[in-house]
Amino acid sequence: MLASSSYAQDLHFSQFFNSPLTENPANTGFIPNHNYRVGANYRKQWASVGAPYKTFSAYGDAQLLRNRWYYGWLGVGGVLLQDNAGNGALKTTEFYLSIAYHQLLGQNSLLSVGFNSGYVNRRLDVNKITFPDQFNDEFGKWFFDQKINSGVKIDDPSIGYFDMQMGMNYAYFPTDKVYLNLGFSVHHLNQAKMSFLENGMHEIKPRYIGFFNAVMKVAPRVIIHPGGYYSNQSGANETVLGTWLAYDLSHGGEYQLLGGAYYRFDESSIPMVGYQLKQWRIMFSYDVTTSSLGAANQHRGGYELSLTFIGDYINGRDYNKKVFSCPHF
């Protein structure tokens, strides 16, 4: 089979709200009611139709100069991603450093701008790839012959390039029971060029991401988190909408039961459950394929696990009016 072009998905997570630095660099240090956070995400998909795709990320970010600047502060952070595609023939490792500035606009809104830059390495294991000239019909039926060395030449099986992103966020918090947030970011700003072939060159096109989320305390023991996510790159797009809620089991927020569902348009439904133990939060989600691919993978898209810790390094969080309000127990 010959094709004039090919398409593939960029790294992504169904729990986009639990991967803030890959969603938008302006999220760096954007932590309501706290000072710092660290987290990790793991995604495994398409195991039912072959070798699974596995994606892992770890991140951390913190606020700086919060006590020195009355109406603003800096956020700094970093994120590491690693992806194994299919049988592991293609491995991608990415590392980014992020910085953002957050400015209060009066007492009820906040504007943030952020930027990150990092290095990406893509490594190709040619021993795990089969090429057309490694098949023969010696016995009247085409089969793969491991004894045949392919004539295909991979000039450089390990390539690297720099990558850049930028974004903006706006938050509005009219009361201590309502918090609204929306943002926009552009990824691959420098449109880096890459290829495993000496005379080949692929330009990575910009990826545009928009999102919104809200936090609303609808009852003394219930907080809901509706949200949405949209991504577009070279004509390929992804839209996710849904909500999850937190139910307070302890009347003080130390123990919370989490649950909800999202929907990725034309692709999958995503139920999720979780638990919060004081400053720790763990969430599990599963992509149930609803597209025509469901006939091939028995509707088993893949699962995702996230772990987040949010903490404070200033005793009592005594910011007075400098803390921006977000509903909490």
Please state, in angstroms and rounded to a whole number, the distance separating the CA atoms of residues 211 and 234: 19
326 pLDDT above the threshold of 90: no
Q: Is 111 helix (H, G, I), strand (E, B) or coil?
A: strand
- For the chain, the average pLDDT equals 88
On whether the 26-322 domain is CATH 3.30.300.210, my answer is: no
Supply the pLDDT for residue 134.
77
Q: How confident is the model at residue 45 (pLDDT cuts 50, 70, 90)?
A: confident
What are the structure tokens assigned to 189, written together? 């700003």
Q: Could you count the other beta carbons within 10 Å of the beta carbon of residue 252? A: 9
Q: In angstroms, how far is CA 66 from the centroid of its own chain?
A: 27
What pLDDT, in 10s, does the model give residues 78-113? 999 999 987 778 999 999 999 999 999 988 999 999
pTM attached to this predicted model: 0.87
What are the structure tokens assigned to 178, written together? 């309502």
Whether the Cβ atoms of residue 298 and residue 277 lie closer than 8 Å to each other: no
Nearest to 290 by CA among 313, 314, 262, 318: 262
What pLDDT, in 10s, does the model give residues 282-297? 999 999 988 877 777 7
Whether the Cβ atoms of residue 211 and residue 16 lie closer than 8 Å to each other: yes
Q: What are the residue boundaries of the structural domains of the chain, listed by start?
A: 26-322
Nearest to 280 by CA among 312, 254, 250, 249: 254
Start-to-end CA distance of the chain, whole Å, equals: 58
213 pLDDT above the threshold of 60: yes
